[in-house]
Amino acid sequence: MTTSNLSRTKTKFRTTGNITGNFGIPKTKVGDNKGLGLTNVDVVHVTTQDDYLDKMFRAYQSTQDINLKKFCYDEIRKIMIQRGTWHG
Protein backbone atom coordinates (compact mmCIF):
# COMPACT_ATOMS: atom_id res chain seq x y z
CA MET A 1 0.00 0.00 0.00
CA THR A 2 1.30 3.44 -0.90
CA THR A 3 1.23 6.26 1.57
CA SER A 4 -0.36 9.53 0.59
CA ASN A 5 -0.77 12.83 2.29
CA LEU A 6 -4.03 13.64 0.50
CA SER A 7 -6.08 12.79 3.56
CA ARG A 8 -4.25 15.28 5.77
CA THR A 9 -5.96 18.52 6.54
CA LYS A 10 -4.33 21.69 5.36
CA THR A 11 -3.14 24.07 8.01
CA LYS A 12 -4.89 27.40 8.03
CA PHE A 13 -2.93 30.59 7.72
CA ARG A 14 -3.24 32.70 10.81
CA THR A 15 -5.38 35.64 9.86
CA THR A 16 -6.85 36.67 13.20
CA GLY A 17 -5.50 37.53 16.62
CA ASN A 18 -2.53 39.51 17.78
CA ILE A 19 0.61 39.74 15.70
CA THR A 20 3.23 38.54 18.12
CA GLY A 21 6.93 38.13 17.82
CA ASN A 22 8.27 39.68 20.98
CA PHE A 23 7.86 36.61 23.17
CA GLY A 24 4.06 36.63 22.97
CA ILE A 25 3.72 40.36 23.48
CA PRO A 26 1.95 42.14 20.61
CA LYS A 27 4.33 44.01 18.35
CA THR A 28 4.21 47.76 18.65
CA LYS A 29 5.17 50.39 16.14
CA VAL A 30 7.53 53.06 17.30
CA GLY A 31 7.88 56.60 15.99
CA ASP A 32 9.94 57.33 12.92
CA ASN A 33 13.71 57.25 13.06
CA LYS A 34 14.46 59.81 10.38
CA GLY A 35 16.66 61.75 12.80
CA LEU A 36 19.05 58.88 13.44
CA GLY A 37 22.56 59.32 12.15
CA LEU A 38 22.36 63.09 11.92
CA THR A 39 24.92 65.01 13.90
CA ASN A 40 25.78 68.60 14.45
CA VAL A 41 28.72 69.69 12.31
CA ASP A 42 30.35 71.41 15.27
CA VAL A 43 30.81 68.09 17.09
CA VAL A 44 32.32 65.98 14.30
CA HIS A 45 36.11 65.67 14.34
CA VAL A 46 37.80 63.31 11.91
CA THR A 47 41.35 62.37 12.82
CA THR A 48 43.74 62.80 9.93
CA GLN A 49 46.03 59.97 8.92
CA ASP A 50 49.06 62.00 10.04
CA ASP A 51 47.59 62.48 13.53
CA TYR A 52 46.71 58.78 13.73
CA LEU A 53 50.22 57.80 12.64
CA ASP A 54 51.70 60.13 15.27
CA LYS A 55 49.48 58.57 17.96
CA MET A 56 50.55 55.07 16.90
CA PHE A 57 54.25 56.03 17.09
CA ARG A 58 53.79 57.53 20.56
CA ALA A 59 51.79 54.53 21.80
CA TYR A 60 54.35 52.10 20.38
CA GLN A 61 57.21 53.85 22.16
CA SER A 62 55.46 54.32 25.50
CA THR A 63 53.84 50.92 26.12
CA GLN A 64 55.18 47.65 27.46
CA ASP A 65 52.10 45.64 26.42
CA ILE A 66 53.04 43.17 23.68
CA ASN A 67 49.58 43.12 22.10
CA LEU A 68 49.40 46.92 21.93
CA LYS A 69 52.90 47.08 20.46
CA LYS A 70 51.91 44.55 17.78
CA PHE A 71 48.75 46.50 16.94
CA CYS A 72 50.63 49.79 16.70
CA TYR A 73 53.35 48.21 14.56
CA ASP A 74 50.76 46.70 12.18
CA GLU A 75 48.91 50.02 11.86
CA ILE A 76 52.15 51.97 11.25
CA ARG A 77 53.23 49.39 8.68
CA LYS A 78 49.86 49.51 6.91
CA ILE A 79 49.94 53.30 6.58
CA MET A 80 53.56 53.40 5.50
CA ILE A 81 52.92 50.74 2.82
CA GLN A 82 49.96 52.82 1.55
CA ARG A 83 52.23 55.83 1.27
CA GLY A 84 55.05 53.84 -0.33
CA THR A 85 57.55 54.70 2.41
CA TRP A 86 57.83 51.30 4.12
CA HIS A 87 61.31 49.83 4.06
CA GLY A 88 60.89 46.69 6.17
State the pLDDT at residue 87. Answer: 85
CB-based contact 86:77 (threshold 8 Å): yes
Q: What is the pLDDT of residues 60-85, one digit of tens each?
A: 999 999 999 999 999 999 999 999 99
State the pLDDT at residue 30. Answer: 65
- CA distances to 11, 31, 54, 71 from 24, rounded to whole Å, are 21, 22, 54, 46
Radius of gyration of the chain, Cα coordinates, nearest whole angstrom: 30
- How far, in Å, CA of 83 to CA of 49, rounded? 11
Q: Where are the domains of the chain?
A: 49-83
What pTM does this model have? 0.51
pLDDT higher at 24 or 56: 56
